[in-house]
Structure 1
Amino acid sequence: MSSVNTAIQLITREQAEKGATAAGSTCSPALAKGPWDYDLAEALAGIPAYGPGASSADVAPAATPRQGQLPEEYKLASDAELGERILAAKAALGDRAVILGHFYQRDEVIQYADFVGDSFQLANAALTRPDAEAIVFCGVHFMAETADILSAPDQAVILPNLAAGCSMADMADADSVAECWEQLEEIFGTEPDAEGRVPVLPVTYMNSSAALKAFCGEHGGIVCTSSNARTVLEWAFQRAQRVLFFPDQHLGRNTAKALGVPLEQMLMWNPRKDLGGNDEQALLDSRVILWHGFCSVHKRFNVGQIEKARMDFPGVQVIVHPECPMDVVDAADSAGSTDFIKKAIAAATEPTTFAIGTEINMVNRLAAEYPQHTVFCLDPVICPCSTMYRIHPGYLAWVLEELVAGRVVNRITVAESVQDHARTALERMLAARP
């Protein structure tokens, strides 16, 4: 099976030659270009953006990191040449560097990874290489921050393209969350009830900035992943009357619903509105306050796609990520983290048809890895994660060859003052095992 990037190149070429009637479709022909084109466009415009793909319509904050210009030699190099240079650099560096590749990364990069997994698995994988001088994280910004928090002080965490951010993570910023917290404390107070539960506890998804993880650590809160969100919410409800969950509303809603929290006790907090768009009594009656954030990849999935999959493939197993909207999760056969999805397909003993609701690079890779099954993405339009797609073999070759030359570029560092509280929240998460 060809990679997602190859499919996009072919579709874009066919559409140019034959028009919109060409077989297959992608959400943006710009995906066929090199990511350095977007780096240049942002530099010329002076305005950051997420780039083509699922998050193209999301507005990037002014402070979003931008990538400088990739040296021309890496832009002009063929795939074969870049591969040779990456392998040569890896050989020269040996155990001094470890490359981490997220499930959603393009195949052309993931083939060089020493470890492949979700954000938390990769941060833990880095801990198995304490002697590595550099951790090259082929993922997005918040993942590299987490790796920096959990790794040794003398280890450099490198993000090959600084523009590889996360629009969901950017939907909750430290100032907005702090303002929300102040308003909630005015309404709820700070005194615990007769059972010792505080009025409200902050819970942040792993897909958030280090500053928000630190906020949770400082205020008695915790971090969760998509695999342990239920355990974390149970932990939080033992300690608090209600939870402020950010930045992903869908993971929070789906998890709380599975725990039996009525929908009427879940409120949405829109940071652009007074009291988040709620009245005081509704907040007092709430058990979960959900931030107005979402993943643009998983927002693309809908019930109509599931209905079509069931019509086209009777007996199909539909598995979606819990970042999908509630009606999609309800209509699926099961929902779980990227690791859950991978394990579900690996565990199938008989040839099975799977319709998957998560990022296309991972789905495509699972289809190739398990040819005995039929595995396809619920969304027929090829639309990868915009920011993961900003990392290309050219950037990986560049950062590795700079390391060989004794130079560290694109280092991600988290301030000590932030690290301490963020590590506290992460350690609480580690203790909350499903």
Structure 2
Amino acid sequence: MSTLPLLPPVDPSVDHALRLIVAGASTESTCATDLAAGPWNFDAVPGYGPGSSMGDVIPTGAPRQGELPVAYREADEDELHARIRAAKETLGDRVVVLGHFYQREEVVQHADYVGDSFQLATAAKEHPTAEAIVFCGVHFMAETADLLSGADQAVILPNLAAGCSMADMASIDQVEECWEQLAEVYGPLDAADDEGLVPVIPVTYMNSSAAIKGFVGRHGGIVCTSSNARTVLEWAFARGRRVLFFPDQHLGRNTAKAMGVPLEQMPLWNPRRPLGGSSSAELQDARVILWHGFCSVHRRFTVAQIDQARAEHPGVRVIVHPECPMEVVDAADEAGSTDYIRKAIAAATEPTTFAVGTEINLVRRLAAQYPQHEIFCLDPVVCPCSTMYRIHPGYLAWVLEELVAGRTPNRITVTADVADPARVALERMLAAKPPVAVA
């Protein structure tokens, strides 16, 4: 039986790691020392904040968070934890707190349910008696929870500035303009040919706005997750000649490539160029039209990092998320959703070294949860998701105490004209279940 050297206990807190880096007490490095400051320092400033998305351009009119009361900004970690626990105890079953895998440890420890965006939206749906759902994630996730929860339930996002740069890379205006241009190339997009196939089926990743999900629902399309992307593409190909996939080009490319679609039949649609930057002939030959979007967290991972991990850790098992660039997915041992990564590590019976290509908060949490393994992030630089990191215990304490006082801050609602078709697209996704693996 193989063994690994006994490793010191891992502190899962990225916040603690950042504070040590800034204090000069750690050999690690970070992409932004501002990450150690309270996110309220950036609430009034346009942008996603420090972290992996800090270089991305934020749309005009993106939600901003109002000033957090000074009592929450100045409270220390222990005080905030005590206030959160007291408020949760007072509220009881009236409130459900949901925490995404990529949230900071100081927030996740107070969540009633922890999961990915789809799992948490499902958790919201399964608690119809809760008066409020506090969603510790980002804006599109709270929108999805509002779509799937009851009309009388309030979905709350603790910090309105917690958006998603990838989701913002496909605006509803850009997608509608794209659809009009595709109609000029393919003809009426709702007209089926002799085989019953329409020219193109729109598919949006869960990481998109409610407006985009509504567009997909209105035009015969479907939502996908990183877990069921292949099943969804099969669903779409059974109904259309082509797929328009947005907003993440990498998930679309990696999934379609694994299905045998040639790269030359996957043109990239740049919304700032006529016909997305392709010719009519290229679009006619296309099988999957990929939107020019990406996740800034997963774009940080490189083949060079994998090569270094293999050189320094012989026998290392490299697992990456399919939002990583194709070259990284190809160089890894495995690629899969957040849930896949978690289950793969949980299932390892022998002490194993894992190099993981996904968000640092989850990687550190897994390293602490499974001390029999050596688990580290492929990216040696501590650089969490900028927008997930906008949720701080101070905001969680604030919204919970506001609820105790009978007020409902930061409620996220989706209007009926968007919500109705968006639910259609989500229901199609729920029905597109991947096949069960046979042992």
Give the drift of 1:13: 1.1
In the alignment, structure 1 residue 272 sits paired with structure 2 residue 272:
yes
Which amino acid is 1:38 matched to? F
Which of 2, 5, 13 aligns to 2:15? It is 5
- What is the aligned partner in structure 2 of residue 45 from structure 1? none
Letter matched to residue 22 of structure 2: T
Q: How far off is 1:306 after superposition?
A: 0.4
Q: How do residues 27-176 of structure 1 correspond to structure 2 at under 5 angstroms?
A: 27-40=31-44, 42=45, 48-176=46-174
**Whole-angstrom distance in 1 between the partners of 2:14 and 2:397:** 20
Q: Distance in 2 between matches of 1:211 and 1:402?
A: 29
* Cα distance in 2, alignment partners of residues 112 and 196 from structure 1: 50
Match of 1:295 in 2: 295
Shift of 1:189: 1.2
Kindly provide the CA deviation profile for residues 295-352 of structure 1, in whole angstroms up to 9, marking residues without a partner as x.
0000000000001111111111100000000000000011010000000000001101
Runs (5+) with no aligned partner, structure 1: 16-21, 43-47
What secondary structure, in the 3-state scheme, does the structure 2 residue paired with 1:137 have? Answer: strand
Distance 1:363 1:163 in 2: 24
SS in 1 for 2:406: coil
Q: Which residue of 2 aligns with 1:403?
A: 403
Q: Residues 147-226 of structure 1 correspond to what in structure 2 (within 5 A)?
A: 147-190=145-188, 191-226=191-226
Whole-angstrom distance in 2 between the partners of 1:23 and 1:310: 21
Q: Hey, what does 2:348 align to over in structure 1?
A: 348
Rounded Cα–Cα distance in structure 2 between residues aligned with 1:23 and 1:78:
25
Q: Aligned partners of 1:336 and 1:194: how far apart in 2? A: 37
Task: Name the residue aligned to 2:370.
Answer: 370
Count of residue pairs the alignment pairs up: 422
The TM-score, its normalising length taken from structure 2, stands at 0.95
Offset from partner CA, 1:354-378 (integer Å, 9 cap, x none): 0000000000000000001110000
Query: What residue is the counterpart of 1:248 in the other structure?
Result: 248
Does 1:310 find its partner at 2:314? no
Displacement of 1:405 after TM fit? 0.4
Per the TM alignment, residue 226 of structure 1 is displaced from its structure 2 partner at its CA by 0.3
Offset, 1:427: 0.1
Q: Could you give the per-residue CA deviations for residues 166-200 of structure 1, whole angstroms, max 9, x where no partner exists?
A: 00000000000000000001110122222100000
1:14 aligns with 2:24: yes
Asked whether 1:228 is paired with 2:243, we answer no
Show CA shifts across 1:85-138 (max 9, x none): 100000000000000000000000000000000000001011221110000000
**C-alpha separation in 1, matches of 2:84 and 2:34:** 26
Amino acid at match of 1:124: T
Q: Which residue pairs with 1:18 in the alignment?
A: none
Residue 19 of structure 1 aligns with which residue?
none
Structure 2 counterpart of 1:104, one-letter code: Y
Whole-Å Cα distance in 2 between the matches of residues 81 and 315 of structure 1? 44
Say which SS state the counterpart of residue 307 (structure 2) adopts.
helix
Q: Secondary structure at the match of 1:136?
A: strand
Which residue in the other structure is 1:24 paired with?
Answer: 28
2:5 maps to none
1:400 offset after TM fit, Å?
A: 0.1
**In structure 1, how many angstroms separate the alpha carbons of the residues matched to 2:316 and 2:324?**
19
Q: Matches of 2:81 and 2:106 in 1, distance apart?
A: 9
TM-score, normalization: structure 1? 0.97
Q: Distance in 2 between matches of 1:92 and 1:127?
A: 23
Report the secondary structure of 1:100's partner residue: strand
Cα distance in 2 for partners of 1:194, 1:315 equals 53
Deviations 1:18-62 (A, max 9, x none): xxxx6110000000100000013x1xxxxx200000000001001
SS for the counterpart of 1:204 is strand
Q: Which amino acid aligns with 2:413?
A: T
- What is the DSSP-based 3-state SS (H/G/I as helix, E as strand, rest coil) of the residue aligned with 1:429? helix
Quote the Cα distance in structure 1 between the aligned partners of 2:61 and 2:207: 17
Give, as a single letter, the amino acid of the residue that structure 2 aligns with 1:35. P
Counterpart of 1:76, as a letter, is: E
Q: Which amino acid aligns with 1:240?
A: G
Deviations 1:246-271 (A, max 9, x none): 00000000000011000000000000
RMSD: 0.7
Unaligned runs of 5+ residues in structure 2 are 1-9, 435-439
What do the CA deviations read for 1:142-175 (whole angstroms, capped 9, x no partner)? 0000000000000000000000000000000000
Q: What are the superposed Cα offsets for residues 180-226 of structure 1, whole Å, 9 maximum, x if unpaired? A: 00000111012222210000010000000000000000000000000
Measured in 1, the distance between the counterparts of 2:407 and 2:157 equals 14
1:394 maps to a residue whose letter is: G
Amino acid of the residue matched to residue 32 of structure 1? A
Who is 2:437 aligned against? none
After TM superposition, the structure 1 stretch with the greater mean CA deviation from structure 2, 232-241 or 22-31, is 22-31
Q: CA deviation at 1:63?
A: 1.6
